[in-house]
Amino acid sequence: MKKLSLISLAVIVVLTPFLFSCKKLTRSHAVVVWHWMTDRDEALQELARKYKEETGQEVQFQLYAPSDVYSQKVKVGAQTNSLPDIYGVLGDAQDLAHFIEAGHVENLTGSLGEGPDSWRSTFYEEAINTAYFKAGNSFNVPEGTYGIPLDVTTIPMIYNKSLFAKAGLDPQKPPQTWTEFLEAGKALKKIGVTGFVSGWAETWLIYSLVTDLAHNLMGAEKVMDTHAGKVSYTDPDWVAVFTAFEQLQKAGFVDPSLVTLGNKAAEQAFSQERSGITFNGSWAVNVYAGMNDKLDYAPFPPPQLGNKFPPCVWGGAGSVFLVNAKSEVKDKAVAFLKWLSDKKQASFMVSATRNLSAVKDVGGEGVSPVLQQFADLMKNSIHPNRFLISEDPKVQEAITKGIQSILISEKTPSKVAEEVQKAKEKSKTE
Amino acid sequence: MEAEILYPVRKWFTVERISLRLWRVVKSTIKHTILISVAISCIFPLVWMFSSALKTNATVFTDMSLIPSDPQFINFAEAWTKGKFGVYFFNSVLYTLVCVFGVLFIASLAAFAFARFQFPGKNALYYLFLITLMIPVPGAIVALYVLLIHLGLIDTRLGYMLPQINGGLALGLFILRPFFERIPKDLEDAARIDGCGRWGIYWHVAIPLAKPALAVVALFTSLAVWNEFMLAQLVLQSQSLMPLQLGLVKFWGGTLTEYPLLMAGMAISVIPIVIAYIFLQKHIIAGVTAGALKG
């Protein structure tokens, strides 16, 4: 017993200094940034060091990951009015709109300015517009730009050139139409590889392809009319979009576990050349480089369902930083973001992280030819954050769940169209 | 005839013995096959983790062998430095020690009071404590965050440890109370005659007798604190205060995961818990079985 007492005493004596040295940190004049980007943390810390050297202003990047934990942290921060000076909101336009409505996001329209020499003009239009709310938007958010993009992504189809050649397909000519796509998948299956793989257990990936195909088949105006409730999801064009997924399933070359596969598993399958075509984002350049640096691949726009409108690629959005409207160092936060989006810093970020920059004409060692191909696809990109009318999340869910059902032969495209329309009507009454 | 007269019992006995032995061998084989299968299924993920920790990002999905042809021991060093495990490891050890001692001390005192003292509302209070076991952490996070802000404990070690000590109390009470209830009244009386007060009985009689239960509580608390991650991200902001689990996150990006380094980091982080289990194993088995009998 004496021994136990002595051990307890020793532990208390050893630990006491640590406990009593814990005093609350007083808020300094540093600009505090909360972020979730584990792969960009080192580069951001380096930039913070450089900024302090150049300006004397301290910037603290605080990493909270993975993204679901980060989102929880930001929500708690908003509920308790303890958000940092700069942060990001992970989610769609509606999530961002909630933060703006609650007064947590500074409208940066004035700071960005207008014209060829403005801060705004340094960004790709698609990128800066992902945080822009148009006048009369469906969220009733005052018109303005509320965020500064750091980088951008595009989510195209990607094909394996070597496997295409092996299957007797032209490795320089990816499929352009949906019919060619189905034929390519069948040819790949003949050489013993899965024609198509994607992480479609993650429904946002399905929704992005649905949006691409819908824009290509019926044009942006009709898609927006559908969001507005003027066009029904039982419209033949929408049924044709859903039917494309049925054709994919019936062609028999998709990964059998497509709807239960996470994106990381799909990335493994593609990088290990077990599949010839995938649907994935530009971040995959980093992923594939780590898993198989000999992988010979290239991106291409999702195959066209129709020929009236150009092919569309989901893209332009990426990591966006917001300035806390209640921050005491708001001006310093804006000044730092301005510095961060300067070409010199943006170029450093590209070299260090091999992500596409949101800043125009930024070169760097990180821009490989294949990454540049992903960047080039941004010209015809679409993204819900730039839509005038966003679709209700519950309708989006009905679409993606419906497509999953089509892919496992549980439902027909017409049945899914009816169910989506019912969800749409329900959302209008709520 | 002579042999039958002389050895009838031996003949009967031999046949019976053989069938009995055979049955025992069959039973033992089945039992051990099941146990070995369970043991392998428990150990395999650990072996796979160590094996993956020795591979490269490129070979981790292609080389399915348990012993890689070109083991990358450097992964452990890289995981340690890149994940800043030096700082985080110290923090995790500190948090685990303080929380374990905190839970053991407070829960044992409370359990002793609930088991040996009579006071109004005793059972109601006890069940109130147990209810906290049923509240999921995310459900209480906002309230906890607000409380910690008002107490000025956000981004402090104390602010991170106190909720964890509080969180471990209910389980501690649940395990320790039955042990203290089983202490014979005579033992308490004898201690009192020897000059012990309530504190003396608790410290010199109850605690030594409850060592197996204390070991179980210590292990459960250690596991919970060592693996805790979400609360740390919510309460702490300074990287220098973060626990070991944050080091692992550095290899686990939203899009890019460095699997060999992640596995190496996990292997490092699992070692202290395995050591703790090995040291406490004897007490844990005694504690769990005693608790089971009591239950």
Residue B7 has pLDDT above 50, yes or no: yes
Q: Do A65 and B146 touch (CB under 8 A)?
A: no
Q: Is A28 on the interface with B (CB under 8 A)?
A: no
For chain A, percent of residues with pLDDT exceeding 90? 65
Residue-wise pLDDT tens digits, B235-281: 898 888 999 988 888 787 767 778 899 999 999 999 888 888 888 77
Is the per-residue pLDDT at A4 higher than 80? Answer: no
Helix (H), strand (E) at residue A159: strand A157-160
Cβ of A135 under 8 Å from any chain B Cβ? no
Interface contact flag, A79 B94, Cβ < 8 Å: no
The mean of the pLDDT values for chain B is 86
- Residue contact B254–A38, C-beta within 8 A: yes
A147 with A123: CB under 8 angstroms? no
pLDDT at A362 (0 to 100): 82
| Chain B residue with minimum CA distance to A263 | B255
Nearest to A76 among B62, B94, B141 (CB): B141
Using an 8 Å Cβ cutoff, are B224 and B231 in contact? no
Q: What local confidence, expressed as pLDDT, does residue B293 receive?
A: 47
Kindly report the nearest CA distance between residue B256 and chain A, in angstroms: 5
Average pLDDT over residues A330-358: 92
Residues B179, B112: Cα–Cα separation, whole Å: 9
Output the pLDDT for position A7: 61
Residues of chain A contacting B234 with CB distance shorter than 8 Å: 72-73, 76
Residues whose CB is less than 8 angstroms from the CB of residue A63 and which lie 6 or more positions away in sequence, other chains included: A35, A36, A37, A38, A41, B239, B246, B249, B250
- Examine the pLDDT at A56 and tell me if it is beyond 60: yes
Contact yes or no for A80 and B249 at CB 8 A: no
Q: Look at residue A25 and tell me whether its pLDDT is greater than 50.
A: no
Looking at chain A, the number of H-run helices and the number of E-run strands are 17, 16
Helix (H, G, I), strand (E, B) or coil at A388: coil
Write the single-letter amino acid at B91.
N
**The predicted structure's pLDDT at residue B133:** 81
Looking at residue A346, its pLDDT comes to 93
DSSP structure class, residue A152: E
| Chain A: residue whose CA lies nearest to B235 | A73
CB A153 within 8 A of CB A208: no
Residue partners of B153: CB distance under 8 A and separation at least 6: A24, B159, B162, B235
Q: If contacts are CB pairs under 8 Å, which of residues 278-297 in chain A contact chain B?
A: 281, 283-284, 286-287, 290-293
Distance CA A77, CA A177 (A): 47
Neighbours of B170 (CB within 10 A): 21
Chain B neighbours among A 313-372 (CB < 8 Å)?
none
Residue A69 has pLDDT above 90, yes or no: no
Q: Name the residue of chain A whose CA is nearest to B55's CA.
A: A291
Q: Is the peptide bond before A66 cis (omega within 30 degrees of 0)?
A: yes
Q: Which of A259-263, A331-335, A367-371, B72-76 bottoms out in mean pLDDT, i.e. has the lowest?
A: A367-371
A347-401 pLDDT per residue, tens: 999 888 888 899 988 866 667 889 889 988 888 789 888 887 889 989 999 999 9
DSSP string, A43-102: HHHHHHHHHHHHH---EEEEE--SHHHHHHHHHHHHHTT---SEE---S-HHHHHHHHHT
**Measured between alpha carbons, how far is A283 from A371 in angstroms, rounded to an integer?**
9
Q: Which residues on A lie below 8 Å from B230 (Cβ)?
A: 69, 72
CA-closest candidate to residue A303, choices A235, A245, A375: A245
User: A79 and chain B: CB distance < 8 Å anywhere?
Assistant: yes
Among B163, B219, B158, residue whose Cα is nearest residue A15: B158
Tokens 């959302």, residue located: A427
Which of A18-32, A330-344, A369-383, B233-247 comes out lowest in average pLDDT?
Answer: A18-32
Cα gap A342→A357, rounded to integer Å = 11
Instruction: Identify the pLDDT of residue A139.
Output: 87
Nearest-CA distance A80 → chain B (Å): 6
**Band of the pLDDT at A428, cuts 50, 70, 90?**
confident
Assigned token pair, A312: 């569309």
Contacts of A73 in chain B (CB under 8 A): 233-234
Residue B141: the pLDDT is 83
Q: Provide the sign of the torsion angle of the four alpha carbons B195, B198, B203, B209, taken in this order.
A: positive
Predicted pLDDT of residue A410: 94
Cβ-Cβ contacts under 8 Å between A and B: the total is 110
How many Å lie between the alpha carbon of B281 and the closest alpha carbon of chain A? 18
From chain B residues 157-186, the ones with a CB under 8 A of any chain A CB are 157-159
Residue range A81-85: mean pLDDT, rounded: 93
pLDDT per residue as tens digits for the range B55-66? 988 788 778 888
Contacts of A36 in chain B (CB under 8 A): 254
- Closest CB to B252: pick one of A15, A22, A66: A66
Inspect the interface and report whether the beta carbons of A41 and B152 lie closer than 8 Å.
Answer: no
A 223-282: CB under 8 A from B: 264, 268, 271-272, 281
On chain B, the residues whose CB falls within 8 A of the CB of A18 are 94, 157
Residue B295 has pLDDT above 50, yes or no: no
Nearest Cα residue in chain B from A292: B58
Return the SS3 of A151.
Answer: strand
Helix (H/G/I), strand (E/B), else coil: B193? helix
Q: Minimal CA–CA distance to B99: which of B218, B212, B208, B210?
A: B218
Of B229, B106, B234, nearest to B173 by C-alpha is B106
CB contact under 8 A, A11 and B97: yes
Gap between the Cα atoms of A132 and A120, Å rounded: 11
Q: Hey, is the C-beta of B138 within 8 angstroms of any chain A C-beta?
A: yes
Label residues A308-323 b or e (16+ Cβ within 10 Å = b): ebebbbbbbbbbbbbb
Lowest-confidence pick of A37-41, A104-108, A122-126, B248-252:
B248-252
**Pairing mode, if any, of strands A297-300 and A320-323?**
unpaired
Tens digits of per-residue pLDDT, A168-183?
Answer: 999 999 999 999 999 9
Instruction: Note the pLDDT tens digit of each residue in B108-124.
Output: 999 999 999 999 999 99
**B270 has a chain A CB within 8 A of its CB:** no
Residue A276: DSSP 8-state: E
| Cβ distance of A62 and B239 shorter than 8 Å | yes
Phi-psi region of B225 (alpha: psi -120 to 50; beta: other; left: phi over 0): alpha
Helix (H) or strand (E) holding A205: helix A203-228
Residue A1 has what pLDDT? 55
Best of A2, A8, A38 to disrupt the B interface (most B CBs within 10 Å) is A38
Rounded CA gap, A379 and A65, in Å?
31
What residue type is A428 in one-letter code? K
**Cβ neighbourhood burial of B85 (10 Å; 0-12, 13-18, 19+):** buried
Residues B86, B67: contact at Cβ < 8 Å? Answer: no
Whole-angstrom distance, CA of residue B63 vs CA of residue B60: 6
Q: Which residues of A touch B52 (CB under 8 A)?
A: none
Does residue B97 sit at the A interface (CB-CB below 8 Å)? Answer: yes
Identify the H or E element spanning A165: helix A161-166
Q: Which of B61, B155, B204 sits opposite A268 (nearest CB)?
A: B61
How far from A30 is each of A22, A26, A43, A96, A358, CA to CA, in Å? 20, 11, 18, 25, 25
Nearest to A38 among B58, B230, B250 (CB): B250
Distance CA A61, CA A71 (A): 16
Picking from B256, B257, B259 by the largest number of A CB atoms within 10 A of its own CB, the best residue to mutate is: B256
Give every CB contact of residue A402 below 8 A, 6+ residues apart in sequence. Answer: A242, A411, A416, A417, A419, A420
CA distance B242 to A32: 17
The rounded mean pLDDT for chain A is: 90
Can you tell me the distance from the alpha carbon of A302 to that of A178, in angstroms, rounded to the nearest whole number?
8
Q: Note whether B61 contacts A8, CB cutoff 8 Å.
A: no
pLDDT of residue A24: 47
Length of chain B: 295
- Which contacts of B65-68 are long-range, i.e. CB under 8 A and separated by 24 or more positions? none
Residue A334 has pLDDT above 90, yes or no: yes
Contact criterion met (CB below 8 Å) for A237 and A215: no
Whether B31 has a pLDDT exceeding 80, the answer reads: yes
Least-confidence region, from A253-267, A328-342, B250-264? B250-264
Nearest Cβ partner for B256 among A11, A15, A286 = A286
Q: Strand pairing partners for B161? A: none
Phi, psi of A401 (to 5 degrees): -65, -40
Contacts of A72 in chain B (CB under 8 A): 138, 141, 230, 233-234
Contacts of A169 (CB under 8 A, 6+ apart): A184, A187, A188
Q: B87 or B294: whose pLDDT is higher?
A: B87
The shortest C-alpha distance from A189 to chain B (Å) reads 21
Is B234 near chain A, with CB under 8 Å? yes
The runs of H, that is alpha helices, within chain B are 2-6, 8-53, 74-82, 85-116, 122-131, 137-150, 157-181, 185-193, 198-200, 207-209, 211-227, 230-235, 244-249, 259-294
Lowest mean pLDDT among A130-134, A363-367, B175-179, B182-186: A363-367
Residues shown for chain A: 430
Of A18, A264, A283, the CB nearest to B157: A18
**Contact by Cβ (8 Å): A160, A277:** yes
Determine the distance in angstroms separating the CA of A253 from the nearest CA of chain B, rounded to an integer.
Answer: 23
